[in-house]
Amino acid sequence: MLQKHKSQLTLLFITLSCIFLCQCRNEQKIKQPKLIIGIVVDQMRYDYLYRYYSKWSDGGFKRLLTEGYSFEDAQYNYVPTFTAPGHTSIYTGTTPAVHGMIANDWYDRSSGGMIYCTDDATVKTVGSPSEKGLMSPRRELTETIGDMLKLSNNGQSKVIGIALKDRAAILPAGHSANGAYWFDDATGWWITSSYYMKQLPEWVKKFNDEGRTNQYLSKPWTTLLPIEEYTESIADNNPYERPFFSEKSPVFPHDLPNLKPQNGGYGLIKATPFGDDLTADFAIAAIKNEKLGKGKYTDMLTISFSSTDYVGHQFGTTAIELEDTYIRLDRDIAQLLSFIDTYIGKENVVIFLTADHGAADNPHYLADKGIPGGFFDENEIAAKIHAFVKEKYGVDPILQFTNLQFYLNKQKIADNKLNLDTVEEAIANKVIEFKGVERAIPAYRLYTYRNDFITKKILNGYNPSRSGDVIINLLPEYIPYDTTGTTHGAPYVYDAHVPLLFYGGNIEHGKSAEEEAITNIAPTISELLGIQYPDGCTGEPLHITMKH
């Protein structure tokens, strides 16, 4: 009797525990977002969030800031701060030292030439007769968040990457993505590669057939708001901008229909805010047609807005063109957030927004304000160093100078009975004599060199099998670039400090002033989903306040 009573109690306990556990599990399931959307704004500096604040609509950046959680001191923790390393670090949670994307292009010792990060001759373009689809993520050495999501449930999550730039679509989506789509200049269409699929989905074909690229390029680019309201920018006609393709002066309106035939055809859209409009349209079409967030498992969409980068390079950080591009991007983001409200509800999505790097102010502009800076002529230094080593050693062992790194021919150095360390040291000591050079480190000394923030960033960006043998860092505000427009790549805040916003799900509104590395994003998403971190992850989860 007692025994029976006991077993009944045990049964009751097991049943209650089961109900309790099941409820907990269900509760967790409900809280788990149905869709993760990662947004990267190419070249968006942290300060733009507030510089243009008075121009934001209620539904875009302002909504992310007032409803979401903002990390005000998100920093890139390596150099060079370029597009491919930036996008890869966000989604892998590690730096180029580990994920291997050390730049957009680099010198490849095995083939003896320059390679592009996502080039892949073993695949074919899907969706166009052009060769712009010979791309894949095969050189990305580690997993992305999308890979982890798919590994967590036997591939049942959908993961898709979208960007005008191939590398900005491919590298975030990762190795096991369902698809990555980018822009084909030759046709104005969204394309992919045979790495992902044999043919474009019907909805992509239909989107391309609608001819939106042509529609966006059929009228001149004028400012969205009256031009006199662009008080955060300098004069429309200023000496720091590069002329917009064949235009006589870089001023509004930019006559796109007339510029198009002689200036890149459909590709012209990339250097206008309409490239971002097209990206937003396509991203919304992808969510709807792929039914992202409507399945049993969490899906993921990675979107990168590339036009901000093209416009930034072209016109610089102080141009009305750049301000207008951000004002229009704000409306794109508002459109996306409003679509999510009705499609799935804010509580079922987690969105993060950040940038792959920032940008320097144009050094001439700074000089006119008495601020130090300058231009660094890479061709000139390369020629002079080639001549220097040839004279010193009687042979020239330099294979390539790229990304501010000298690659040396180690075999040639050995054959000529020279010492590699000594040659590296001699080049570094010569390079430091050039104007604008902050330091030049022989690779063999990287691990023992003065351990300040710059060396740490160089080390995080240094991949022994892919990086060069002498690594140069420039002084602040020195750029290896044309004298108009601007670029990025440095360890300093203007290139390293970016926005980082989280929004949706049960994320509370708030902000943190703590310095956070960009590599902390991926483990944060992993923790939110209860899945493993990507294999190379060196970051740690961010502390975001959550509603209970």
Residues that bind Zn ion (CB under 5 A): 42, 83, 309, 356
Nearer to Zn ion, 150 or 167 (CB): 167
Report in angstroms the alpha-carbon separations of 51 from 231, 237, 327: 10, 20, 11
Q: What are phi and psi of 396, to 5 degrees?
A: -115, 100
Report in angstroms the alpha-carbon separations of 523 from 97, 168, 502, 529: 18, 20, 14, 10
To Zn ion, the closest distance from the beta carbon of 331 in angstroms equals 22
Nearer to Zn ion, 142 or 354 (CB): 354
487 is catalytic: no
To Zn ion, the closest distance from the beta carbon of 276 in angstroms equals 13
Tokens representing residue 417 in the block? 């009975």
Report in angstroms the alpha-carbon separations of 228 from 189, 210, 223: 35, 35, 10
Nearer to Zn ion, 489 or 505 (CB): 489
443 within 8 A of 424, measured Cβ to Cβ: yes
Nearer to Zn ion, 34 or 45 (CB): 45
Q: What are phi and psi of 293, to 5 degrees?
A: 85, 0
To Zn ion, the closest distance from the beta carbon of 239 in angstroms equals 25
To Zn ion, the closest distance from the beta carbon of 314 in angstroms equals 14
To Zn ion, the closest distance from the beta carbon of 83 in angstroms equals 3
CB atoms within 10 A of CB 91: 29
To Zn ion, the closest distance from the beta carbon of 185 in angstroms equals 18
| CA 305/CA 145 separation, integer angstroms | 19
Taking alpha carbons only, the member of 289, 366, 351 closest to residue 502 is 351
DSSP calls for 2-37: HHHHHHHHHHHHHHHHHHHHHHHHHHHHHHS-SEEE
Q: Which residue is nearest to Zn ion (CB)?
A: 83
Burial class (CB in 10 A: 0-12, 13-18, 19+), 434: middle
> Given 83, 88, 298, 484, which residue is catalytic?
83
What DSSP state is assigned to residue 228? G
Go through the chain and tell me how many residues it has: 548
Q: What are phi and psi of 541, to 5 degrees?
A: -60, 145
To Zn ion, the closest distance from the beta carbon of 384 in angstroms equals 30
Nearer to Zn ion, 185 or 356 (CB): 356
- Strand locations in 238-389 (E): 299-305, 349-354, 374-375
To Zn ion, the closest distance from the beta carbon of 158 in angstroms equals 26
Report in angstroms the alpha-carbon separations of 481 from 249, 361, 368, 403: 20, 12, 18, 12
Nearer to Zn ion, 277 or 356 (CB): 356
Taking alpha carbons only, the member of 460, 362, 437 closest to residue 86 is 460
| CA 358/CA 70 separation, integer angstroms | 17
Nearer to Zn ion, 325 or 409 (CB): 325
Nearer to Zn ion, 74 or 443 (CB): 74
* Rg of the chain, C-alpha, whole Å: 25
Taking alpha carbons only, the member of 425, 430, 434 closest to residue 377 is 434
Tell me which residues are annotated as active site: 83
